[in-house]
Amino acid sequence: MKYVENKVVLIGTGAVGMAYAFAAVNQSVCDELVLIDLNEVKSRADVTDLNHGEAWAPSPVSVIFGSYADCANAAMVVICAGIAQKPGQTRLQLIETNIRIFKTIVGEVMATGFDGIILVATNPVDVLSYATWKISGLPSAQVMGSGTTLDTARLRFNLGQYFEVSTTNVHALVIGEHGDSELPVWSAASVAGRSLAKRLAAKPEMQADLDEIFVRTRDAAYQLIEAKGSTSYGIGMALARITRAVLSNQKVTLPVSALLEGDYGHDGVYIGVPASVGRRGVRQIIELDLDASEQAKFDASVATLKAVIADVSDVIEG
């Protein structure tokens, strides 16, 4: 791989892109951060603003405004570019528009000889991760999406509040589509070292509370978007966490959007699943021991995404 150690190129400096950039600088997850956006005036101002905080960062991060040429020797490209759904526009129309945008972006990236890791954040993230893999021609391990990292963080926070423990003491995952068909894996969850299954066995009526917690987790984005126009800070921090895992070769398990190749009984689709993430991207997908209900819900989530991919296959391949 031809790359400069810990150099990241961010494409798209809207709310999500800049939340990621802010988190990356504050956490010093990379040595060099290059911003690319069509709005050069605003992005150059963002660069200056970020650089003014260098004195308070754990270690210096070189932040510059650049061009696609900077991708040639980057370790990672993080894509936050795209458009939001407009009034009267269907979800499928939104997907088709963003795929066309991605064909241009990914084409420009790959024309430089880029051979690093591409991390996709733009929604619908699972479908656009699949499209990025197809358009780029990179090995699937080198293309991933943010998947259900944000959903998982939301679930862990909500469970921590409910059980009155630190979020870091909650181990629970959301998997599947980053969207309405996602699911919590209660069978593998634990809180403060005690399995959730044992807690439920002792107090079955708790299930109603957990169901409400998951609905609140799944639908959080709708409420945030209605109130403030977007979700940004949580996903920005999730992207920074994935970036650190890659650049530091942590081999940590994170619920990213990755290509299934027989995993969980499916193939040919990008979807949120726990995966070991390191310097070469997705090292391996971790198959959880789902119970029958969870497997059925996951199967339905896969079917949802495959149907969308089939609808836009001509746009991706064309």
Residues designated catalytic: 178
Q: For residue 315, which phi and psi values (nearest 5 degrees)?
A: -70, -40
Q: For residue 120, which phi and psi values (nearest 5 degrees)?
A: -105, 135
Q: Of 104, 83, 62, 75, which is closest to residue 9 (Cα–Cα)?
A: 75
For residue 187, the tally of other CB atoms under 10 A from its CB is 16
Q: Of 140, 107, 136, 84, which is closest to residue 282 (Cα–Cα)?
A: 140
Return the amino acid letter for 217: T
Between CA 300 and CA 305 the distance in angstroms is 9
Q: For residue 79, which phi and psi values (nearest 5 degrees)?
A: -105, 115
Give the rounded distance of the alpha carbon of 166 from its chain centre: 23
Q: Say if residue 124 is preceded by a cis peptide, omega within 30 of 0.
A: yes
